[in-house]
Structures are given as C-alpha cells and as structure tokens.
Amino acid sequence: MHICYIGIGSNLATPVQNAKIAIAALKKLPQSHFVSCSKLYCSKPMGPSDQPDYINAVAQLNTTLEPLALLDALQQIELQQGRVRKAERWGPRTLDLDLLLYGQELINNERLRVPHYGIKQREFVLYPLSEIAPNLVFPNGESLRHVLQSCPLNGLQVHSDI
C-alpha cells in the first residue's frame, strides 16, 4: 500500500457540493482505502483574480493502484463532475483533483509530477495537509512543519467540516 495525498479544489457551480461529491467518489476507488480528509477551506484563486474563491481540501488514501492508474481515476472523477480541461492554467474549474504525494516516490514524466509542483508554496494545500498529516516528511527529508513556517495564510479560512 502507498500512502497518497489528494488535493481537492473547486470554484465553479456549487464548490462545496463538488468537493463533497469528489470525496464520496474517492471513498469508492478500487484497490484503495480512504483514510481521512481535512476540513474544507476557502482560498483566493491562483492566477486570474477575476474568478470566484476556491473551496479546497486534502484527502489521504492508501492504495495499491500504480501512480498513473490513480491519476486516470482522479481525472475520471473530474470528468464525471463536468471538468473541462482548457489551455488556461489556474483558471476556474468545477473540480480539480491533484495527486500531491505518492508515498515517498519521486515521479517526473510527461503526465505526472510527484510531489506536485508548487506544493510547498500553496497554503490551500499545506494547511489542510497539516491537519491530517501533521508529522509528514516530504521525500526530500523536509518536514511539513518546517515548510509551513514560510507559508503565509494569504487569507485562507476554514469553511466547514466535511
């Protein structure tokens, strides 16, 4: 089993409901055991500021799925919730599921980069992650607690419990 962390984000249609539906879908993934999920957080959008705020969370799964099979499953959940992939980076979306960490593995290929790029600069990932894995150590040996010391909240707020 691999311990994996999945970033959840939504800012279109009904973001809270989108996140809850995604969490329910994660609980049904084959060859996987859903362990926990953070509270829902409200964050300012990255990139274009002329879009709604995001609802974010991080979930932990233990899985025997290979990394690309897990990525495919996450993208299928996104599609089922109306995700349309566009060329615009950091634009609004109904659902975004990111494979943040896959055990202690380092993955870098044309479809997947793990740890997720930018993970250490994103308050909307780090703070929910610290809620469910406060003692986490990244593959490079750096502790999540250490990384959090240099990551401001940037207006991040707890929205609600799941």
Could you list the active site residues?
Answer: 83, 93, 96, 98
Helix, strand, or coil here: 74?
A: helix
67/122 Cα distance (integer angstroms): 22
Instruction: Tell me the two tokens of residue 55.
Output: 């609802």
84/65 Cα distance (integer angstroms): 25
121/39 Cα distance (integer angstroms): 19
Instruction: Tell me the two tokens of residue 98.
Output: 């990111």
Return the closest-CA partner of residue 53 out of 162, 155, 161, 160: 155
Q: Are 95 and 83 in contact (CB under 8 A)?
A: yes
Direct distance between the N- and C-terminal alpha carbons of the chain, in angstroms, rounded to an integer: 25
